Amino acid sequence: MKHTQLYSRTFFFFWSGLFVFLLLVSGMAIAQTEGVDSLTNTPVRKYQQVKNTFESNLIIDDQSVMVPSKNTLEFDILHRFGIINNGYSNFYGLFAPPVIRLGFEYVPINNLQIGFGLCSNNMDLDLNGKYAIVKQSRGAIPVSVTYYGNIVIDTRSSSDFVERGDRLSYFNQLMVARKINSKLSVQTALSLSHFNNVPGYTDAEGVIRNTVMNDQFTWSLMGRYKLTEKMAILVDYDQPLTQNPTNNPHPNVAFGLEITTSSHCFQIIAGNGQYILPQLNAMNNQNDFSKGQYLLGFNMTKLWNF
């Protein structure tokens, strides 16, 4: 069902536009962490930047604060099997219809990543961007702050939609992370998902009502603990904050084992998030981890530097 109140959509675009603007302005202000050598008139770095807060762009079902170095191209393969509850009939979800996303991201300038991907769920095409606003520095800045956003287009047949805008959904996320020590890193995030078109029904009085809200807020908490130089365990938790009239989504709970090399990252995952795109998990996740409704999956990324 389309959102019939104009002020809500206007509020969304105004809020998200102001959100991005303030983040970029604050990033420009805080980024002035370099001085000038009075003898050579060349920039001098005042503070030592903390590196490798996380080893990957991804923390299971969420983004990390990391943006690769300039001129890096990344290729992603994200795969989720079916839930294990059906047992041997689909070999505990491994033979169930999977959800797969193929994606490419590139870093054209320092701290800015842009990309696109195609997901098998509804043949969703996503256009995304990530900007590292603040980076943790020893003795100066205690945390890293990064913004991530996407636009998702449902590319199924036009017969499934009344208007073109019904295909669109949006995701905005502000992430704050800190590398505690050489082994432990933690991150929290607040996100806003928006869907132009949501399910609805007609009540007994003939009034059309939404079953879920167009705007969905989510709070997230993630962490990584390194077991060895190349292996770590991951934890990812997403808590929906928006209360819907019906069909409230369940929290997304996931655990992972991460194995890295200089140019690859492989994450083996167990969690209850059926979807790969973040706004779909925020809106539609009906799997209850406490009831054993979880699934297996993996994330694989490959980096090239030019």
d(CA 79, CA 87): 19
Distance CA 214, CA 202 (A): 17
Q: Please report the pLDDT score of residue 100 as a whole number.
A: 96
* pLDDT at residue 204, rounded to an integer: 66
Q: What is the pLDDT of residue 201?
A: 66
Bridge partners (DSSP) listed for residue 233: 225, 257
Which pLDDT does position 92 carry in this prediction?
A: 84
SS3 87: helix
Buried b (16+ CB within 10 A) or exposed e, 80-98: bbbbbeeeeebebbeebee
Among candidates 4, 2, 15, which has minimal Cα distance to 174?
Answer: 15
pTM recorded for the entire structure:
0.83
What is the per-residue pLDDT for 193? 96
- Dihedral of CA atoms 290, 287, 222, 104 in degrees, nearest 10, equals 150
Q: What is the largest CA-CA distance in the chain?
A: 80
Q: How far apart are CA 186 and CA 239, in angstroms?
A: 16
What is the reported pLDDT for 146?
A: 97
Q: What architecture is domain 6-305?
A: Beta Barrel (2.40)
pLDDT for the residue 30: 46
- The pLDDT score that the predictor gives to residue 127 is 97
Q: What is the pLDDT along the chain (306 residues), one digit of tens a residue?
A: 544 444 345 445 544 554 554 444 444 444 444 555 444 555 655 678 898 999 999 999 999 999 999 999 999 999 999 999 888 888 888 989 999 999 999 999 999 999 999 999 889 999 999 999 999 998 888 999 999 999 999 998 877 677 888 899 999 999 999 999 999 999 999 999 999 988 776 666 766 778 889 999 999 999 999 999 999 999 999 999 999 988 899 999 999 999 998 889 999 999 999 899 999 999 999 999 888 899 999 999 999 998
Residue 3 in tokens: 């959102």
